[in-house]
Amino acid sequence: MPTARVPHVALLTGGGDCPGLNAVIRAVTLALKRGCGARITGIERGFHGLVTRRVRELTEPDVAGILAEGGTILGTHNRCDPFRWEGQDHSAAIMAFVRELGIDALVAIGGDGTMRLAARFGPLGLPVVGVPKTIDNDLHGTDRCFGFDSAVAVVAEALDRLATTARSHGRVMILETMGRDAGWIALEGGLAGGADAILIPELPFSLPAVAELARRREREGGSLLVCVAEGVRIGGEEPAARGQVDDATAQARLGGVGQVLQHRLQPLVNCEVRSTLLGHVQRGGTPTAFDRVLATRYGVHAAELVAAGRYGRMVALQGDRVTSVPLADVVGGSRPVPPDHELLRAARGIGVLLG
């Protein structure tokens, strides 16, 4: 009797890292091994590993003990678009490599850029299942990306720490968060850390209103905690940026709005205004318990999709249910904070200044 061929599945992590990547790698590997005895090949450094042919087998011992580890054991790359890397389209060479290895399917763990690139391999003969990652939580088609909860926890802790020193000195303390064009990290982190003002790209804000609130706090002998998302535009200007990087997404690297705000606010108030840029601290370190569980659920569901041959889909959380959506619906979309979102109502309800 002919024996069934063991499926061979490749796994990569693309784009910026975030807490929970290793938890997904572990869950996909364990679920596929236990479910159908699959062979798993890890691609090193995202799509760059497919260009440079850097791969390694993943076994159960390889993924033991990595659940709580930050970063990604496979490494990642946020600049490599294999369809135009270093002036060349590498897709034909990659497909030849995939056939040489006998790979049947790819599980791509990443954000919008990774999903967009991965989806292009399906029609070339490498079917794909996606797993949504980004601390920004702005991927279309899912209510949550793993990594977001961990970033929010870091923002909340930073605000807790800034609050005590702000109170001691009667200062305005500004905390700048990541998030690109979406305000989710600043909004949830700001709420969790008790910010008095939360400024997000989705809502225009008034500098005089922030200054007025700061002066009121001054008169009352208090302090002010401002949480600002990096994508905020001050007075309609472009968001503050550290430069443009020629990468798969060709996006400006944002950062610096907190300092701009500090300089604009200082002349309008008597107390001292200081700013802190939290930066990559939000992306590093161990995932929260919520992210470990979500990453595990996503990894297992991705393995189930592969085992069932349901390709061209991304796993997703809708409400409290893990499901999947067509990759084509995810690519190119975004998920900004809707103006009528309940979190905004909650913030306004307790007097947080939002605009």
Question: Residue numbers of the site for ligand F6P (CB under 6 A)?
Answer: 16, 78, 134-136, 178-180, 230, 253-254, 283
Distance, in Å, from the CA atom of 130 to the CA atom of 298, rounded to the nearest integer, reads: 10
Q: Is the Cβ–Cβ distance between 111 and 145 less than 8 Å?
A: yes
Minimum distance between the CB of residue 90 and ligand F6P, rounded to whole angstroms?
22
Query: CB of residue 131 vs ligand F6P: minimum separation in angstroms?
Result: 15
Active-site choice (112, 136, 181, 196): 136
Residue with smallest beta-carbon separation from ligand F6P:
178
With beta carbons less than 8 A apart as the criterion, state whether 240 and 257 touch. yes
Total residues found in the chain within this entry: 355
Q: How far apart are CA 207 and CA 274, in angstroms?
A: 16
State in angstroms the smallest separation of the CB of 270 from ligand F6P.
33
Of 14 and 193, which CB lies nearer to ligand F6P in the complex structure?
14
In the numeric block, which tokens belong to residue 106? 């790819």
CA distance 310 to 129: 8
CB-nearer residue toward ligand F6P: 142 or 223: 142
For residue 303, the minimal CB distance to ligand F6P (Å) is 25
Looking up tokens 């850097």 gives: 54
| In the complex, least distance from residue 209 CB atom to ligand F6P, rounded to whole angstroms | 26
Single-letter amino acid code for the residue at 269: V
Which CB, 104 or 188, lies closer to ligand F6P? 188
Question: In angstroms, rounded to a whole number, what is the distance separating the alpha carbons of residues 107 and 80?
Answer: 17
In terms of CB distance, is 259 or 266 closer to ligand F6P?
259
Neighbours of 5 (CB within 10 A): 8
Q: Is 136 a catalytic residue?
A: yes
Q: Which is nearer to ligand F6P, 171 or 283 (CB)?
A: 283
Q: Please, are residues 22 and 73 in contact by the beta-carbon 8 Å criterion?
A: yes
Pair 266, 237: CB distance under 8 Å:
no
* Cβ burial, residue 208 (10 Å; 0-12/13-18/19+): exposed
Active site residues: 136
